[in-house]
Chains A and B, each alone.
Chain A
């Protein structure tokens, strides 16, 4: 009985800490791009708002269908567009980071299976603070309206 109470307190403590450290983070309109059955990668987009006074950095993540989840930025050289992996995507204090097609994004690579159009996947974002935030993300062909 004593052990159960101690265990419950510990679990509650962990949950509260996890929640508290992502409290300043707000995610809007997340979606993962529905891609053809032969795709090797896809991308996740969303708007991330940082309501806190410290900058937050998305340093990586995990997803049930991807072996690797990496922050990526869009690059431009003349009219040539590309992308490259970066150590982190920064959400400025009091500001927001918009991830959208043709722009910065969270890349889902080494797919164990191709996400199906219409399904919902759990995506975990890892922050520079060590905190993690898991969100439900719909798989869509186009951005949610």
Chain B
């Protein structure tokens, strides 16, 4: 009887502590935050806003197509994450690459870049001010680094990926290293989709 009471107490305590907040592999925003609705232009020259993906999970990252190390790896991780998802859920997730380099990243170059990884991935960019607002809203930073010529610059940038849930709330984010764990990130996405 005493044991039963102890078990019931423990169960109540666990429910109280952890019942509301599910354990995720990614870093969780708790409470979740209303996701900034960026308005950009996609790789087909069409307007793209975060709000149009309401009802889906959106996983996005900032970068630029001339980025030789982080960005190709990020897109490869996106591919691996998509593959790790149950087939039935893949259409409920939108992967998005936001270019911080509107000067060089035309819709055509964005198209070549993302379609190399997956035909369903989207890429978008916007005006300097739109990009600044989007980056600031997700606590991301970036700056141009001069190269040998004017066209030869690189862009230092935050390398996290951001997960927006189907209700349009920013729920999780991933460091570059964590994003490489495709199975675990896919597990988070499944959990987020099931919770809706």
Contact = CB atoms under 8 A, between A and B. Distances in A.
Contacts of A78: 141
Contact of A43 (B68, B115, B116): B68
Interface in B29-85: 65-66, 68-70, 72-73, 76, 79-80
A33 B68 contact: yes
A41 B66 contact: yes
A81 B76 contact: no
Contacts, number: 80
A102 interface: yes
A83 B109 CA distance: 22
Interface residues of A, number: 26
Give the interface centre of A34, A42, A101, A142 by most chain B CB atoms within 10 Å.
A101
A143 to B, nearest CB: 8
A35 B75 CA distance: 10
Contacts of A79: 139-141, 158-160
A105 B158 contact: no
A38 B156 contact: no
Given A42-B68, A82-B145, A36 B160 contact: no
Interface of A: 33-43, 74-75, 77-83, 101-102, 105, 107, 141-142
30 contacts: A33-B72, A33-B73, A34-B72, A36-B72, A37-B116, A39-B65, A39-B66, A39-B72, A40-B66, A41-B68, A42-B72, A75-B156, A77-B156, A78-B141, A79-B159, A79-B160, A80-B143, A80-B156, A81-B157, A82-B145, A82-B154, A82-B156, A82-B157, A101-B72, A101-B73, A102-B69, A102-B73, A141-B72, A141-B79, A142-B76
